[in-house]
Amino acid sequence: MRTNFIKQLIEEARHNDKIFLLVGDLGYHVIEPFAEEFPERFLNVGIAEQNMAGVAAGLSMAGYNVYFYSIGNFPTIRCLEQIRNDISYHNVNVKIVSVGAGYAYGSLGATHQATEDIGALRVIPNIVVATPGDPIEAKAITKLSAIYDGPMYIRLGKAGEKVVHTKEVIDIKIGDICPLIVKKGNEKAVLACGNILDAAKHQIEDENLPYNLYSVPFVKPIDIDQLKRVINSHPKGLITIEEHQKSCGMGSAVVEIVNDLYADGGIETYPKIKRIAIPDEFVEVVGSQLFLRKYERLFL
């Protein structure tokens, strides 16, 4: 995902001289092409993510569309106060980009695992929370972010994620839900966000599960009308799956929307919703992303 992000950002920067990239002393062999082509719009702030958030807000107030990029929890959890007060409160044009979401850096332990970031940021006003499920969605969301004026969080995987979509995602809109497996007769829907999407798709196909699959590339907002159509076409309910804490994640966002729809008469029947996510605990072992997913039973 990160390679597609940088490639698309370079393409956008060629046509938009207001795109500015900040990094936190990482991304070597990935970000160099941007730095070499646009040295006047690139700055390595160093391992100073909270400061980087403030710099991003200031540059945005000077007219730039600023991307600040670092590992998983460092541009998010570490910078929460600066994101809230400097970026969100002023509603400035800053894109927070994390690489290595979920357990991507699982071998480095809990300090490097980004498993609470969606919840932390989606409760802050003004911020769009984007969770691309594969490199194609990452490219589409990067393209969209270049023309979106306002705060956005883009949650990327680390590297090597498989392409799930069979074709380019064209003209993605904020809040879209992307259908991937839709077969007549399947009465249950799986909603997946982030790079666990590929694992969900393979499990459905390998085990011949009678589920339709949808990617949720935006956790905030989720298009209510699109979610309503998914609910109404799957009478046996929904399953949400994500590599994030169960509290305040994508599954929670879906439940909140469903609850309000039902309370307001938008849907007649309250659907069954099963949430698959990380339980309320820190994982006490280290290992690969796949190992930790199995350890926390993140499968359908």
Q: Which residues of 106-122 are buried (b: 16+ CB within 10 A; e: fewer)?
A: beeeeebbbbbbbbbbb
For residues 125 and 88, the answer to whether their CB atoms sit within 8 Å is: yes
Q: What is the CATH number of domain 178-296?
A: 3.40.50.920
Distance (Å, whole) CA 178 – CA 241? 15
Give just the sign of the alpha carbon dihedral 185, 187, 188, 189: positive
Report the candidate in 169, 72, 165 with the shortest Cα–Cα distance to residue 114.
72
Mean pLDDT of the chain: 96
Architecture in CATH of 1-156: 3-Layer(aba) Sandwich (3.40)
Q: Where are the domains of the chain?
A: 1-156, 178-296
- Digit-coded pLDDT (tens) for 80-97: 999 999 999 999 999 999
Which pLDDT score is estimated for 159?
81
Evaluate if residue 53 carries a pLDDT over 80: yes
What local confidence, expressed as pLDDT, does residue 151 receive?
A: 99
CA dist 142 and 50 (Å) reads 23
For Cα atoms 24, 25, 27, give the angle at the middle one, nearest 5 degrees: 95
pLDDT single digits (tens) 118-169? 999 999 999 999 999 999 999 999 999 999 999 999 999 988 889 999 888 8
- CA–CA separation, 291 vs 288, rounded Å? 5
d(CA 168, CA 181): 16
Q: Residue 169 has what pLDDT? A: 85
Tokens of 252: 């929670």
pTM score above 0.85: yes
Q: CA 207, CA 204: separation in Å to the nearest integer? A: 6
Q: What is the pLDDT of residue 28?
A: 75
pLDDT reported for residue 204: 96
Banded pLDDT at 114 (limits 50, 70, 90): very high
pLDDT for 170 equals 81
Averaged pLDDT, 224-248:
97
Q: What distance in Å separates the CA atoms of residue 157 and residue 100, rounded to the nearest whole number?
A: 5
